[in-house]
Amino acid sequence: MTTRPPVAEVLHGAVDLHCHSGPNPFAREFDHVEAARDAERLGMRGILVKSHHHNTVMDLLAMKRELADISTPVFGGVALNAQVGGINPYAVAMSLRMGGRAVWFPTFSSRCHCENDHHGFPESEVEIPNRIIDVTGPDGQLVDEVYDVIDLIVESDALLSAGHVSPPEARAIFTAGRDRGVRRMIISHPNFVIDAEPDDCLEFTELGAFIEHEVGMYDPQGYRKWDPSLLLEWIRTIGPDNTVLSSDLGQRGRPMPVDAFLRVGEELLSRGLSVEELRQVACRNAAFLLGLDAERPDPVAG
């Protein structure tokens, strides 16, 4: 009988592409410096910090001195919500040319999120003005600014996230991204807020996108406590070569990301996910998407 290594050893070198540390208008449990220190516990290769409201690259530049002695690097990007002017190529150019690694198409400002948020999306007491930001025009085609943003992503070889747009809108964005040369694309929590079906996600992977699932949703001690067996079913359906695990944590009162990674990793291993499959979804795929590795990882042995 082969004894598998401890889950902390399996997850050593993981990458978190979805950390909601502060500062932020919404209440946060920890800031970017504390997130990096937490990530050190797993020897994480990197974390990507996300705000729905501002360019997090500026946060990291302001915290540069505090981050200097932490072994896990922290990267930022910009989400194209109302607070930065929507689909704003100027905001994207500034973020990427100052070191940003990711652009999220509208999240809180997407039509899908604003009109279909029946999930009770939890946030804080701060009221943030918002408006719908559409990625398509009255003719159903992507607006011109989407193509401008995609070209800037190609210029920096950055990560394109579909944000919280609807599955048809994500399909259009991924198609344009593929056709214009984007190498790193992702969609988050397909079964939360955006309601993408597995068949939608399989089509997205054919366009070159990865499907991201959040350990914060499946953590037995987390805020939602979704069954980890559902997560395993998604991984089996989409395939570990096209799947990424991230935290989506940082909100006040929620677990630290490393703790959630460890608990959910253990749940997946106990249900039959192999060590190499877990490393693929938690370490290798995300390292490529964040630009830490130049090329997409080789397929994991089945």
Q: Read off the pTM.
A: 0.96
> What are the angstrom distances between the C-alpha of 186 and each of 76, 134, 210?
16, 19, 5
The CA-based diameter of the chain, rounded to the nearest angstrom, is 61
Q: Which secondary-structure segment (H or E) carries 246?
A: strand 243-246
Q: Which residues of 239-260 are buried (b: 16+ CB within 10 A; e: fewer)?
A: bbbbbbbbbbbbbeebbbbbbb
CATH node for 7-289? 3.20.20.140
Query: Which residues, other chains included, contact 173 with Cβ-Cβ below 8 Å and sequence gap of 6+?
Result: 105, 135, 142, 146, 150, 160, 162, 165
Tens-digit pLDDT string for the chain (302 aa): 568 899 999 999 999 999 999 999 999 999 999 999 999 999 999 999 999 999 999 999 999 999 999 999 999 999 999 999 999 999 999 999 999 999 999 999 999 998 875 455 555 445 788 999 999 999 999 999 999 999 999 999 999 999 999 999 999 999 999 999 999 999 999 999 999 999 999 999 999 999 999 999 999 887 767 999 999 999 999 999 999 999 999 999 999 999 999 999 999 999 999 999 999 999 999 999 999 999 999 999 86
Sort 116 into a burial class: Cβ within 10 Å, 0-12 / 13-18 / 19+: middle
CB 149 within 8 A of CB 103: yes
Strand order of the β-sheet with 15-19 is: 15-19, 46-49, 74-75
